[in-house]
A and B are shown apart, each in its own frame.
Chain A
Amino acid sequence: MHAEIIALLQQNKTEPAFNLIVKSYSQKVYWHVRRLVLDHDDADDVVQNTFIKIWKGLPNFRQDSAIYTWIYRIATNEALSFLRSKKENTRFEDVEYSLSQNLEADAFFDGDAAQQTLQAAIATLPEKQRAVFNLRYFEEMSYAEMSAVFDTSEGALKASYHHAVKKIEAFLHTH
């Protein structure tokens, strides 16, 4: 898929390349964003902004890097920016934790108590560590790919993930 998109970009066929990206990655991007922002409507907004940025950045995409990690990098930045702006515009100090507490009443959340507690535990992590944990735990992304997404060394990401697992297990132990 990457080669096909790159081939279209090399022929300056930006719009077909973008349509192929949407077809291939919109669902994956949505789930990645949804796990970070938790609410469906928020995720929908962030995904649309993400793809607008992808569309705008496509002509300048450096074709030496993987389009997959480039897209995830944009989506992660958009989701974390969204959470930061939401924090600035709300009275609640811990937006993520309050969002995770609202999951029980969320019409688009089918998880049981254990899954809800897991989301509450993830919400206690610092935002970048949360993104690292989600990509590794739920999407099983390799550290090499995550290194390109976060522009961070693989060693640092392994340490971050290890600490995240320990924190979450400790949270589950006490809740």
Chain B
Amino acid sequence: MKDYPRLENNKHLKSNPFTVPDAYFKNLREGLQNIPLEHPQTKVRFLENRYLRMFAFAATLVLAFTIGWFSQGTPSENDDLNNENIIALTEGGYLHYSDYDVLMVLDDQEIEALINSQENGNTDYLETTQPDLVEDYYLTLENI
């Protein structure tokens, strides 16, 4: 039978085989004693987790992108809502007129013209009701 060391009262096996770098315990003590000074008791450990850090970074990017996206090209509340702004907003898809809104600002003659234009397959209301205005508009464009 192989002779094997007994555990109890074996000074060699009980001795410490591990070592540490030079001056480790001095540095450890100094580092630990600075914990209260550097980190108050309410130390937030939320962002110590790598995945939470990545999530926070991604969420910040999405938030910044979203704010940028919705703020670009829309007039602020202080801008005058003149005709040009309304046209720009309508063309940009920011404003939508319902049939009710259109009918409320038209007189009977204009409504009749509008209905006739749609029946004739012409969907451009201005072209039907005010062709001169449309022509003037196109003449002001430089590329034409």
**Footprint of B on A, CB under 8 Å?**
14-15, 18-19, 22-23, 26-27, 30-31, 34-35, 38, 40, 44, 47-48, 51-52, 55-56, 59, 108-112, 114-116, 118-119, 137-138, 165, 168-169, 172-173
Contact = CB atoms under 8 A, between A and B. Distances in A.
B96 interface: no
Contacts of A52: 35, 39, 43
B13 interface: yes
B61 interface: no
A59 B41 contact: yes
Most central of A38, A52, A112 by chain B CB within 10 Å: A52
A143 to B, nearest CB: 15
A168 B13 CA distance: 12
B17 A22 contact: no
A23 B7 CA distance: 32
Interface of B, secondary structure class, is loop
A118 B33 contact: no
B14 A26 contact: no
Contacts of B93: none
Nearest to A15: B36
A47 B18 contact: no
Contacts of B72: none
B8 interface: yes
Interface stretch (B24-32, B101-109, B122-130, B133-141): B24-32
Contacts of B28: 26-27, 30, 44, 47
Given A18-B36, A44-B28, A56-B41, A169 B6 contact: yes
Nearest to A140: B14
20 contacts: A22-B32, A27-B28, A30-B20, A30-B25, A30-B28, A40-B20, A47-B28, A48-B31, A51-B35, A52-B35, A56-B41, A59-B41, A108-B19, A110-B17, A111-B18, A115-B13, A119-B17, A165-B7, A169-B6, A169-B7
B5 interface: yes
B41 to A, nearest CB: 6
